[in-house]
């Protein structure tokens, strides 16, 4: 009788062990061929995850397997690779399914012309010249692009784009609100617009005579960006160098008139929070609005540095 009871207990225990073995958590590969619409493949994309506690299940769903293939292409994943990655999280997990699976990346196409139009519209919307004065030619664009399947958004990455001559406009492509890639579009932008020209030469240090300044159309494609388009913009400014007649005028050719000269006595205002202390000093250089100058204080002979304001006073903030 004792032997029968012992045999029954052993049978019962073995039955429990077998049952426990068959109830281990499993990862079941969905199919031999699977489609995804993303650039990275996670375990949850290619397998069913059963029998794990909630914490492990969520962790396994986002377990990175491999990078997805290009849109329209496939990547082959071995069962062994999946098993190795899963068992780093849960050693006792059982992996079921085919030995190899092919994961295809779903694709959608977008015309290169749509990307070029986005870039061209950006140029027209942001340049300061009238549209009728600008000729934009696409230098290079792709016929079409293969993207991940989903909702596509195109927008230009504003990155100090030059709006004349050879121009490259970077178009950012988003799929399902996720950044996908940047597609550069090359243009040649010709600008023939009204700008400011001096009929006579201008000497260095002279203030331009506005009666000799005219507006005329010129090809400014290869000129710097700081072309002057309004004569009043150089009113009361002085030439930094000699300028030949019929030269297209640029902001960089001029500077503001000094509010005081080197050696002049100037007011110095020291600001400490709400407190202001005013004194006088002698300027070490000509002073223009917004520039830094050094001043030797009359009271105490101390040398200080401050910013010239629109009234010609040197402001020091502490």
Helix H or strand E encompassing 146: strand 144-148
Q: Which one of 88, 105, 122 terminates a domain? A: 105
Q: Does the pLDDT of residue 6 top 50, yes or no? A: no
- Identify the DSSP state of 247: P
Spatial separation of the C-alpha atoms in residues 10 and 18, rounded to whole Å: 12
- Identify the DSSP state of 52: -
Cβ contact 122:168 at 8 Å = no
Whether 5 maps to a domain, the answer reads no
In the predicted model, what is the mean pLDDT of residues 31-56? 90
> 66-76: buried (b, 16+ CB within 10 Å) or exposed (e) per residue?
bebbebeebbe
**% of the chain exceeding 90 in pLDDT:** 53
Q: Does the pLDDT of residue 14 top 60, yes or no? A: no
Residue 23 is predicted with a pLDDT of 58
Distances (CA, A) of 256 to 87, 197, 234, 244, 288: 73, 19, 9, 20, 7
Distances (CA, A) of 312 to 67, 275, 284, 300, 308: 63, 20, 14, 22, 6
Q: Residue 9: which pLDDT band, with cuts at 50, 70 and 90?
A: very low
Q: Residue 85: which pLDDT band, with cuts at 50, 70 and 90?
A: very high
Residues 96 and 113 in one domain: no
Spatial separation of the C-alpha atoms in residues 34 and 48, rounded to whole Å: 13
Q: Which one of 149, 166, 191 terminates a domain? A: 191
Whether 260 maps to a domain, the answer reads no
Reference 241, options 198, 297, 274; nearest CA is 198
Whether 99 maps to a domain, the answer reads yes
Residue 99's contacts (CB-CB under 8 Å, 6 or more residues apart) are 78, 79, 80
What is the count of structural domains for the chain?
4
Distances (CA, A) of 148 to 75, 134, 224, 260: 15, 36, 41, 64
Residue 99 in tokens: 């030995």
Residues 74 and 39 in one domain: yes
Residues 123 and 80 in one domain: no
Whether 10 maps to a domain, the answer reads no
Whether 72 maps to a domain, the answer reads yes
Q: Does the pLDDT of residue 10 top 50, yes or no? A: no
Residues 236 and 212 in one domain: yes
Residue 225 is predicted with a pLDDT of 84
Residues 23 and 101 in one domain: yes
In the predicted model, what is the mean pLDDT of residues 107-124? 88
Residue 12 is predicted with a pLDDT of 43
**% of the chain exceeding 70 in pLDDT:** 92
Which CATH number fits the domain that encloses residue 81? 2.60.480.10
Tens-place pLDDT, residues 205-249: 898 988 999 999 999 999 988 899 888 888 878 999 999 999 999
In the predicted model, what is the mean pLDDT of residues 19-39? 78
Range of the structural domain that residue 301 is part of: 265-317
Residues 100 and 115 in one domain: no
Which CATH number fits the domain that encloses residue 287? 2.30.30.760
Whether 217 maps to a domain, the answer reads yes
Residue 241 is predicted with a pLDDT of 93
Residue 19 is predicted with a pLDDT of 36
Average pLDDT of the residues of the chain: 86
Q: Residue 169: which pLDDT band, with cuts at 50, 70 and 90?
A: very high
Cβ contact 307:291 at 8 Å = yes
In the predicted model, what is the mean pLDDT of residues 299-312? 89
Residues 170 and 246 in one domain: no
Higher pLDDT, 147 or 36: 36
Q: Residue 16: which pLDDT band, with cuts at 50, 70 and 90?
A: very low
Whether 250 maps to a domain, the answer reads yes
Spatial separation of the C-alpha atoms in residues 106 and 300, rounded to whole Å: 78
Whether 44 maps to a domain, the answer reads yes
Residue 220 is predicted with a pLDDT of 93
């Amino acid at each position: 009788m004792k032997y029968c009871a012992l045999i029954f207990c052993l049978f019962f225990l073995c039955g429990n062990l077998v049952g426990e073995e068959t109830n281990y958590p499993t990862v079941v590969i969905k199919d031999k061929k699977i489609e995804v619409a993303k650039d990275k493949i996670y375990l949850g994309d290619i397998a069913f995850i059963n029998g794990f506690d909630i914490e492990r299940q969520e962790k396994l769903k986002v377990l990175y397997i491999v990078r997805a293939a290009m849109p329209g292409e496939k990547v082959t994943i071995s069962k062994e690779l999946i098993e190795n990655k899963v068992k780093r999280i849960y050693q006792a997990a059982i992996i079921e399914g085919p030995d190899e699976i092919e994961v295809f990346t779903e694709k959608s196409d977008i015309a290169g012309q749509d990307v070029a139009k986005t870039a061209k519209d950006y140029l027209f919307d942001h340049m300061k010249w009238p549209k009728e004065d600008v000729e934009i030619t696409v230098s290079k664009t792709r016929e079409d692009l293969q993207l991940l399947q989903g909702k596509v958004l195109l927008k230009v990455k504003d990155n100090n784009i030059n709006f004349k001559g050879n121009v490259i406009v970077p178009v950012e492509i988003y799929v399902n609100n996720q950044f996908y890639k940047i597609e550069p579009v090359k243009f040649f932008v010709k600008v023939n617009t009204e700008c400011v020209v001096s009929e006579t030469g201008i000497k260095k240090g002279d203030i331009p005579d506005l009666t000799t300044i005219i507006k005329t159309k010129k090809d400014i494609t290869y000129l710097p960006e700081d072309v002057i388009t309004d004569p009043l913009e150089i009113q009361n400014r002085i030439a930094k160098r000699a300028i030949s007649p019929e030269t297209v005028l640029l902001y960089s050719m001029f500077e503001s008139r000094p509010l005081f000269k080197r050696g002049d006595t100037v007011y110095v205002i020291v600001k400490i929070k709400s407190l202001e202390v005013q004194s006088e000093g002698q300027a070490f250089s000509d002073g223009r609005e917004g520039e830094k100058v050094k001043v030797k204080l009359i009271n105490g002979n101390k040398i200080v540095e401050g910013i010239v304001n629109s009234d010609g006073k040197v402001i020091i903030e502490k």
